[in-house]
Amino acid sequence: MAGRCAIRASAVRVPMPIQPSTRPSALVQVMLVAYLAALAYGRLYPMQGWRPIGGSPIAFLADPWPRYWTRLDLLANVVVYAPLGGIVVALLRRAELGSIRAALLAALVGSAVSILLESLQNYLPGRVPSRLDGIANTGGGLLGALLATAWARQERRHPAWQRASLQPFDASLGLTLLAAWVVIQSHPQRVLFGHGALIDPPMLLHRLDPAYAVLAEALAAGGAFVTIGMLVRELPPPAAPRGLLTTAVIAAALLAKTLGAAWLRGPNLAFAWLSAGAQGGLVIGAIALALLASARRRARLRIAIVALLCTAALTNVFPVDTYHETMSSPSSAGGWRNFDGLLRGAALFWPVAALAWSIRRLAALRAEAGSIMARTP
């Protein structure tokens, strides 16, 4: 009897919790390079008309304090550099520098990048480097680094996240993607939540029947809604109400879009984005998420990938209407001119980053399932 119990006990193997890796993944490095490219694109947009200058490119650091500046512009400079600080901290985890040192080093990286890009603005007509922008950018990098280090400490305190096989890098990058998605909504897009517009739609689609255009926008917006909902369900904490979190993310995105429209074109056009197709997309997305709430993790990621690709395809063929042409035209808002290029670049980059993150998570789940099956007698 004792021998049988010993055999049964040995046959039962409890899966060990996955230990978080301290090695920065290739995805972190790719995101750092891509975000630096987006920052350069935004700060140097449209990158035409380069001309030499007579003085030092860093002479602006000794300029007097600017007489005119807005709180919104200052806040935008802080927010834009916050993700850079978080990405740098994620990249430094292997070095084991400690939270304070990693945060300070990330702030220094943000400051160096800001000074470099501000200096290059000297060679572009219509761009004026600002010491205030550099200070705000440095503060944004430090803020993002502090938030990333605080998040890392919380990850180590919650073994449930390890049991969910979600590595700290994946969690941090996933949350960064969600935060970036919300910020990007302040930039006008062809369709609600539509990103990745690389090409102009064919001329034939410009004559598309209005009813079909409404349907295309509804499907694109609904697909983006489903993508965000699937990504939210893949992020910690495991016990959090997923429906409530998804609603909060969507509400924040709609608020950003409303504020962006009001800032660009005035309060009268704050809700001009709420077209019939956009309303239909919100309804379609909510219904689809309710039906897919019980889907398994790997199925959710596959659905997110398909929905993301469909949204990108529909966005690229959707005809640009008068509203989007008006909202996308150059604005007199100084702060918007500074970040229009950055938001355009981020809107193009986001679907690629989200696709890479989803594929990485799907591969990790497959590897975990294979490991469990290999340990099972």
* 165-212: pLDDT as tens digits: 345 556 667 777 888 888 888 877 777 887 776 665 554 455 556 677
Which tokens is 202 given?
A: 């064919």
Average pLDDT over the chain reads: 75
Rg (CA), the chain: 23
Least confident of 166-170, 214-218, 264-268: 166-170
| Residue 79 sits in the same domain as residue 191 | no
| 67 band by pLDDT with thresholds 50, 70 and 90 | confident
Specify whether 171 is located in the same domain as 106: no
Residue 331 pLDDT level (bands cut at 50, 70, 90): very low
Q: Which two tokens stand for residue 207?
A: 């004559």
Most confidently modeled of 7-16, 233-242, 252-261, 366-375? 252-261
Percent of the chain past pLDDT 70, that is, above it, reads 70
What are the residues whose beta carbons fall under 8 Å from the beta carbon of 200, sequence distance 6 or more?
Answer: 320
The pLDDT of residue 13 is: 40
Residue 6 confidence (pLDDT): 45
**146 shares its domain with 257:** no
Same domain, 187 and 115: no
Residues 77 and 100 in one domain: yes
- 235 burial type by CB count under 10 A (0-12 exposed, 13-18 middle, 19+ buried): buried
With bands split at pLDDT 50, 70 and 90, how would you rate the model's confidence at 351? Answer: confident
The pLDDT score that the predictor gives to residue 282 is 92
pLDDT tens-digit series, residues 90-99: 788 666 667 7
Q: Are residues 351 and 238 in the same domain?
A: yes
pLDDT band at 160 (very low <50, low <70, confident <90, very high): low
In this predicted structure, what is the pLDDT of residue 332?
44
**Cβ-contact 93, 152 below 8 angstroms:** yes
Distance from C-alpha of 352 to C-alpha of 315, rounded to nearest angstrom: 14
113-137 mean pLDDT: 85
Residue 48 Cα to chain centre, angstroms:
28
Comparing 234 with 327, the larger pLDDT belongs to 234
What number is the average pLDDT over the span 340-351? 75
Q: Is residue 363 part of a domain?
A: yes
Token reading at 124? 């572009």
**Residue of 106, 109, 87 lying closest to 97 (CA atoms):** 106
Count of structural domains, the chain: 2
Confidence of residue 231 (pLDDT cuts 50, 70, 90): confident
Distant-in-sequence, close-in-space partners of 207: CB < 8 Å, separation ≥ 6 = none
Whether residue 63 is contained in a domain is answered as no
Q: Which of 44-58, 64-78, 111-125, 206-220 has the highest mean pLDDT?
A: 111-125
**3: in domain:** no
pTM of the model: 0.64
Domain co-membership, 124 together with 39: yes
Whether residue 341 sits in one domain with residue 207: yes
Boundary of a domain, candidates 157, 190, 212: 157
Whether pLDDT at 162 is above 60: no
Average the pLDDT over 350-373 and give the result.
Answer: 81
Domain that holds residue 330: 164-377
Domain boundary among 95, 129, 157: 157
Same domain as 221, residue 191: yes
- Which among 157, 172, 203 is the end of a domain? 157
Question: Is residue 326, in this structure, part of any structural domain at all?
Answer: yes
In a domain, residue 237? The reply is yes
Residue 172 near residue 145 (C-beta atoms within 8 A):
no
- Is residue 129 predicted with pLDDT exceeding 90? no
Residue 130 lies in a domain: yes
Residue of higher predicted confidence among 19 and 253:
253
Residue 140 has pLDDT above 80, yes or no: yes
pLDDT value at 164 more than 50:
no
What integer is the mean pLDDT of 121-126? Answer: 81
Using CA atoms of 30, 247, 196, 355 in order, give the dihedral in degrees to the nearest 10.
Answer: 40
Contact 32, 148 (CB under 8 A): no
215 shares a domain with 149: no
pLDDT in tens, 280-329: 999 999 999 888 888 888 888 899 999 999 888 888 776 655 445 555 54
pLDDT at 286: 92
Q: Are residues 114 and 173 in the same domain?
A: no
Predicted confidence at residue 239, as pLDDT, reads 59
The answer to whether position 58 is within a domain reads: no
Please give the pLDDT value at position 163: 45
State yes or no: pLDDT of 1 exceeds 60.
no
Q: Is residue 2 part of a domain?
A: no
DSSP-derived secondary structure for 269-304: GTTTT--HHHHHHHHHHHHHHHHTTT--HHHHHHHH
Tell me: pLDDT of 109 over 60: yes
| 148, 173: one domain | no
Residue 219 reports pLDDT greater than 70: yes
Q: What is the mean pLDDT of residues 39-64?
A: 77
Range 19-41 average pLDDT: 69
